[in-house]
Amino acid sequence: MTGLRERLAQILALLEKEDRLLCGVRERLFQVTPLDAPRLACLLETPEGIDRLESFTSKFSRMQDTFVDKLLPIHLRSLGELPGSAIDNLRRAEQLGLIENAESWVEMRLLRNRLVHEYVEDIAQLAEQLSLAREQAEALHHAYHKLRSR
């Protein structure tokens, strides 16, 4: 049990750092609001803009992975439950009131794969996808704080 508690504390500490970094880059990337297609195109003309986008995408992905693949299974175990697949754990987290909607978390994982793999050529679509990613990054932030306060 001690091992489990230690592991949980380690993951929470990691998430605290990831959360701080993601919030920071989220603010920097979405400084210009709304970040629509013309503004995004402008931003991506600069090396700083490109770095910011890359940084947001990778921190967004990393925090999702830590939350879904590391934190949720350990949290469930600490409640005496047996964790299952990522989708099962998300469903359980929804029942426990930790997250709003399991389906939108699956969507979040699919979205980040699109942001990471395809360098989207359609800038209007990229702007729309980023706006959704921004909302999802906020949901991630809230879920982490909710879980930490339990």
Partner 1 sequence: MRLTPFQQRIIKDEVARIMGEGVRLLLFGSRTDDDRRGGDIDLYLETPERRERAWHQVLRLNAALQERLGEQKLDIVLHQPGEPLQPIHLQARKQGIPL
Residue written as token pair 């469903």: 91
85-114 residues in contact with partner 1 (CB under 8 A) are 85-87, 91, 102-104, 106-107, 110-111, 114
Q: Closest distance between partner 1 and the C-beta of residue 69, in Å?
A: 12
Contact between residue 72 and residue 83 where contact means Cβ atoms under 8 Å apart:
yes
Looking at the Cβ atoms of 6 and 122, the one nearer to partner 1 is: 122
Give the integer Cα–Cα distance in Å for 85 and 118.
Answer: 26
Q: What angle do CA 8, 109, 96 make, to 5 degrees?
A: 50
Q: Closest distance between partner 1 and the C-beta of residue 56, in Å?
A: 18
Answer yes or no whether residue 22 interacts with partner 1 by CB under 8 A. Answer: no
Answer yes or no whether residue 6 interacts with partner 1 by CB under 8 A. Answer: no
Footprint of partner 1 (CB under 8 A): 85-87, 91, 102-104, 106-107, 110-111, 114, 125, 128-129, 132
